[in-house]
Amino acid sequence: MSSARLFVLGELARRGPMHGHQIRRVAQLDHVDRWTNIKPGSLYGALQRMETEGLVRRVCTEQEGGRPPRTVYEITKEGRHELVVQRMSALREARLSPDPIDLALGHVADMTEDAVRSALEDRRASLTHQHQEMCHLREEADPYLTAMEKMIFEHTLRRLRLEIDWHDELLDQLPTLVAAPSRTAEE
């Protein structure tokens, strides 16, 4: 399942023909980088790959004033089929992406507790900031959100809250965890 592919195909199916800048703008306005693994700038490449695969096709090229020409794309029949496949895959599959913190925590034996604590406190502060931003964003958007969009926000907020709670527990137990002996290669 490709998040970028699902997003582009979904927007073209929902909104009709669009050029890459319009698709990117929708991604920016929806803040997809905050609740998906999509980077708005990567959508151009995804769009070009999908054109090569026959999932989207060029409709025309537009040029407004002195701006560069923009190619307008629409979803094809094959693209609509791919959208169904991508959407069903995303709805059925449960994936928890590995977090590099787990690997890093397994390799802190040569660090001081203070250094580990400082890094974890910074990370917790970052998560708290993200949670606050998302709460603010939801509050601003709330009057315009559908019931489904409210549930999507809730999913992100709960995941962030759980991460913050886990960090609190980790920080509380850190003295014991750092003091515990680590395994050696011979074990």
User: 46: domain CATH number?
Assistant: 1.10.10.10
Same structural domain for residues 107 and 81?
no
Q: Are both 76 and 105 inside the same structural domain?
A: no
Query: What values do phi and psi take at 53, rounded to 5?
Result: -85, -5
Q: Where are the alpha helices (DSSP H) in the chain?
A: 3-15, 20-29, 32-35, 43-52, 77-92, 100-105, 113-141, 147-179
DSSP structure string for 5-42: HHHHHHHHHHH-SEEHHHHHHHHHHTTHHHHSS--GGG
Residues 84 and 119 in one domain: no
Position 84, amino acid: V
For 73, list phi and psi in degrees, rounded to 5. -120, 155
- Of 38, 58, 92, which one is at a domain's C-terminal end? 92
Give the end of a domain, one of 70, 92, 114: 92
Higher pLDDT, 141 or 162: 162
Residues 16 and 85 in one domain: yes
Asked if residue 77 and residue 111 are part of one domain, the reply reads: no
Backbone angles phi, psi at 62, to 5 degrees: -110, 150
Cα separation, 78 vs 100, whole angstroms: 37
Among candidate residues 61, 92, 123, the one where a domain is terminated: 92
Please tell me whether residues 88 and 131 are part of one structural domain.
Answer: no
pLDDT value for 180: 77
- Domain assignment of residue 184, yes or no: no
* pLDDT bucket at 155, cuts 50 / 70 / 90: very high
* Share of residues in the chain with pLDDT > 90 (%): 65
What confidence score (pLDDT) does residue 97 get? 82
Q: In terms of domains, do 62 and 142 share one?
A: no
- Predicted pLDDT at 182: 66
Residue 78 lies in a domain: yes
- Residue 44 DSSP SS3: helix
CB-based burial, 165-186: b 16+ in 10 Å, e otherwise: eebeebbeebeeebeeeeeeee
Residue 161 inside a domain? The answer is yes
Write out the residue range of the structural domain in which residue 19 sits: 3-92
Q: Does residue 185 surpass a pLDDT of 70?
A: no
Task: Report the alpha-carbon distance of residue 119 to residue 26 in Å, rounded.
Answer: 35
pLDDT classification of 36: cutoffs 50, 70, 90: confident
Structural domains of the chain, count: 2
- Total residue count of the chain as it appears in this document: 187
Whether 184 shows a pLDDT value over 70: the answer reads no
- Domain for residue 185, yes or no? no
Dump pLDDT digits (tens) for 52-81.
Answer: 999 999 999 988 888 888 999 999 999 999
Q: Average pLDDT over the chain, rounded to whole?
A: 91
125 assigned to some structural domain? yes
